[in-house]
Structure formats: C-alpha cells, structure tokens
Amino acid sequence: MPLSKHGYPRPLILKDGREVWLRPLQPAEDEERLFKFLASLSNDDRWYLEFDATDPEAVRRELLDCNPRCVLPIVAVDTRDAVLALATLQRFHAGARGHIGRLRVTVAPSVRGQRLGTYVLLDLIQLAVDMGLRVLTAQFVRGVEDQAIRAARRLDFFEQAVVPDYAKDPRGNSYDLVIMLKRIHRGYDDF
C-alpha cells in the first residue's frame, strides 16, 4: 500500500494546543533527531524497550536500516521537526501471520498526558486498516505501562493473555506481560 493513501504527513493537535505531525521516519534525515529523542527517554523508559536505545548499531538495525515491508517506523514531530514520539507497525511475511500487525508506541516524557500516545495508536490502527491487516497486537508491561493499557482499551484492544512474571525491572522485580489484541472488522456484525 502506498503510504500516500494514508495521508502522511498527518496533523495532530495535542491537549495543550501544540501542533504535531505524524509521518514515516526518514532514515537519513531523521537519524540525529531519532537519537536525540531516544536520549531524552529516562533510563527506566529505555529499560523496557525491546532494543538497546543507547547502542547506535542496535538503533540502526531496529529502526533506520529496517526493511519497511517488515517494520514501519512512524514519528510524531513538532513544528521544528523534533521527534516527540516513535511508533512501529511490525508486519510478518505473507504466511500464517501475514494478516497481523504488532504495534509499539513510545512517547517523549515532555509530552506525556497530552493524548499523543492515544492519537499515535489511533493512527497506527487506521494505517493497519489501510494496509488490509485484520489483527493487531500490542504488548505491555503491567505496573509500568498501565496508561498505555488504558489507552489501548479505549481503542477496543482487549487483553488476550497475561504472561505472569515475564519482564523484570532494573532491580530484578518481576512484572506481568499483557498481550492485547484488536480485531479489525471485515463486515457488519450481527448483535
């Protein structure tokens, strides 16, 4: 699907009135901005990412050099092009999981509580609809990412599974992993 169908760049207005634009990450132009964004995250935030955000090679592998057919990184930028949020829509090869998309959203500490995470999640859902995906999944660490869990619930994600004691915090305490799913309708439902 050409991303142009989805209408990027897409404007967002945050709760405090700030204008933010959503667009695909441009590996060459955005590299420095992306590193700056990742550096703005706290150690705790970085701990729960699935890659080592302090390792430039890992960041390049995960986001800058990734195959766009497998991972679509989307950024939310302010009017000066500073990255305020990073989202990824991960897809699988056209096999048994070809209809599934996996979402991940990380928001800069300075704009939390401004609905940016919700709007980015909403955008990824619409992007998934535009791509013809049928099932969306997202994983959250309960007790750490509770706000994101609430946002996902408001967008019709439901808790499909909980894996007890799956993640650990830097001090070694265990947390449950919540696997959430959203099904995209194919036709009208009878009820």
Partner 1 sequence: MADPDQSQRLATKRGEVRLRCGVAPAALAAWRLDPGIGVFPSYRSLLTSQQSLREAAAEPEAHLCLALAEDECIVGFCLQRPPRPGERWAELRPPLMQEVMGEVARGWRGLGLIEAMLAKVVLRPANEERILYIMGYSWHWDLDHSRKSLQQYRDTIIHLLAPLGFRQFPTNEPNICLRSENLFMARVGSQVPRRTIKAFHNLLFGMAPD
CA geometry: angle at 182 spanning 100 and 83, to 5°? Answer: 80
- Among the listed ranges 23-31, 85-93, 116-124, 168-176, the one in contact with partner 1 (CB under 8 A) is 116-124
- Among the listed ranges 30-38, 49-57, 102-110, 127-135, the one in contact with partner 1 (CB under 8 A) is 127-135
- Residues in 158-187 that interact with partner 1 by CB under 8 A: 182, 184-187
> Is residue 155 part of the contact set for partner 1 (CB under 8 A)?
yes
Cβ distance to partner 1 smaller for residue 19 or 65: 19
136: closest CA among 88, 188, 95, 99?
A: 99
Q: Are 108 and 85 in contact (CB under 8 A)?
A: yes
> Is residue 95 part of the contact set for partner 1 (CB under 8 A)?
no
Q: Are 19 and 78 in contact (CB under 8 A)?
A: yes
Under the rule (CB under 8 A), what is the footprint of partner 1?
5-7, 10-14, 17, 19, 22, 115, 119, 122-123, 125-126, 129-130, 132, 155-156, 182, 184-188
